[in-house]
Amino acid sequence: MIPVVIAGMTVAAAFALMAGFLGWMHPALDSFSHFRIHLAVLLILAGSCLLLAAGWRLPGAWAILLGLAAIVATLDLSAFTRPAEATAASAAEPSTTAARYRLLQINLRYDNATPERVLSLIGRVQADVVTLDEVSTMWIEKLGLIEAAYPHRIICPPPSFVGGVAILSKRPFAKEAQCLDRGALAVASVDFGGRLVDVAALHLSWPWPLEQAQQVANIRDDLGRISTTALLAGDFNAVPWSHTAKSVANAGGFNILRGIGSSWLHRYLPMSWRPHIGLPLDNVLYKGAVIPSKPSRLEFVGSDHLPVLVEFGLLREEEPAEVMQASVEEPE
């Protein structure tokens, strides 16, 4: 009966895996896409077991082939594109301004028991701009301690106990920043040495059966009004290859920055498991004159998400942004 049970698990995993590729049809299917790598690995392991059972070798081989194909298809959109993207960005370097800037993205965790670790990290990294999620009432008071270092800021009123989003900047805002979608989206026009870049912070709800898809539909017009040169960062509660992440990118004309890696893991699980079974839920999107470098995840600061740091440059004003952007645009 053991091969029969394993075969049943294999069929269930295969259907779930394929459903994740059909996320454009319904949000319920897109929910499966977040666990695509996990399901693919499960298929490979189950298929390997079936290869050892007489009469089940062919189904086992097909399961392994399907799992490998899913991993390759997904990694073609993330890890495998990083060298090409880095090469393109390096080639573009002579055409960018000499100055380099840094954006730090952190999901603070609304009830973080060690806020001093977050504030210490922000102080050490000294990013030009910081985007924050889950800025609860507790965090609003704590962020006041670094107001001198980041005087230009917008902190959206918490729509719930989980909190809203915030943007902190060392550099001045060119105009009044906005809180949208009940505090889940903030947009600020930041002056980077005379160049204006819209910086947006976004926190999406959980996937179906919760209201993530409806939230994306609600902010579609707001995303479309963001400037042609912009950065969008936040906890999407969605992986970069999901239909949700692609919908956000398409709504604002953004490119999804690949290579961030697993940034979230349930806080009751060992942190050492994060690189292996965690999910890349923290995303950074860019467009226009923004040329990002490879992102990096920083150390644990008490949240169930890791901070993400991205360095970027800006195209020189005389360079046609759409031509240079096309050189780093990742394939669909």
pLDDT digits (tens, 9 = 90+) for 93-127: 447 667 899 999 999 999 999 999 999 999 999 99
Provide the number of structural domains found in the chain: 2
Kindly indicate the confidence band of residue 320, based on its pLDDT and cuts at 50, 70 and 90: low
Domain termination site, one of 75, 99, 128: 75
CATH number at residue 143: 3.60.10.10
Considering the domain architecture, whether residues 182 and 42 belong to the same structural domain is answered as no
Considering the domain architecture, whether residues 274 and 207 belong to the same structural domain is answered as yes
User: DSSP secondary-structure letter at 254?
Assistant: P
Residues in Cβ contact with 22 at an 8 Å cutoff, skipping those fewer than 6 apart: 29
Residues in Cβ contact with 94 at an 8 Å cutoff, skipping those fewer than 6 apart: none
Considering the domain architecture, whether residues 69 and 89 belong to the same structural domain is answered as no
Considering the domain architecture, whether residues 227 and 321 belong to the same structural domain is answered as yes
Domain termination site, one of 75, 92, 110: 75
**202: exposed, middle or buried (Cβ count in 10 Å: 0-12, 13-18, 19+):** buried
Contact yes or no for 114/300 (Cβ under 8 A): no
Residues in Cβ contact with 182 at an 8 Å cutoff, skipping those fewer than 6 apart: 159, 164
Q: What percentage of the chain exceeds 70 in pLDDT? A: 89
Kindly indicate the confidence band of residue 199, based on its pLDDT and cuts at 50, 70 and 90: very high
**119: exposed, middle or buried (Cβ count in 10 Å: 0-12, 13-18, 19+):** middle
Considering the domain architecture, whether residues 46 and 177 belong to the same structural domain is answered as no
Contact yes or no for 112/300 (Cβ under 8 A): no
pLDDT digits (tens, 9 = 90+) for 200-230: 999 999 999 999 999 999 999 999 999 999 9
Token couple for 24: 């454009």
Buried b (16+ CB within 10 A) or exposed e, 246-263: bbbbebbebbbbbbbbbb
pLDDT digits (tens, 9 = 90+) for 47-85: 999 999 888 999 999 999 999 999 998 875 444 334 334
Considering the domain architecture, whether residues 262 and 316 belong to the same structural domain is answered as yes
Token couple for 230: 């912009």
Contact yes or no for 154/167 (Cβ under 8 A): yes
Considering the domain architecture, whether residues 59 and 180 belong to the same structural domain is answered as no
Considering the domain architecture, whether residues 68 and 127 belong to the same structural domain is answered as no
Considering the domain architecture, whether residues 270 and 192 belong to the same structural domain is answered as yes
Domain termination site, one of 58, 75, 92: 75
Considering the domain architecture, whether residues 38 and 154 belong to the same structural domain is answered as no
Range of the domain at 275: 83-328
pLDDT digits (tens, 9 = 90+) for 149-188: 999 999 998 888 899 999 999 999 999 999 999 999 999 9
Token couple for 205: 């709800």
Considering the domain architecture, whether residues 65 and 183 belong to the same structural domain is answered as no
**Predicted pLDDT of residue 319:** 53
Considering the domain architecture, whether residues 97 and 48 belong to the same structural domain is answered as no
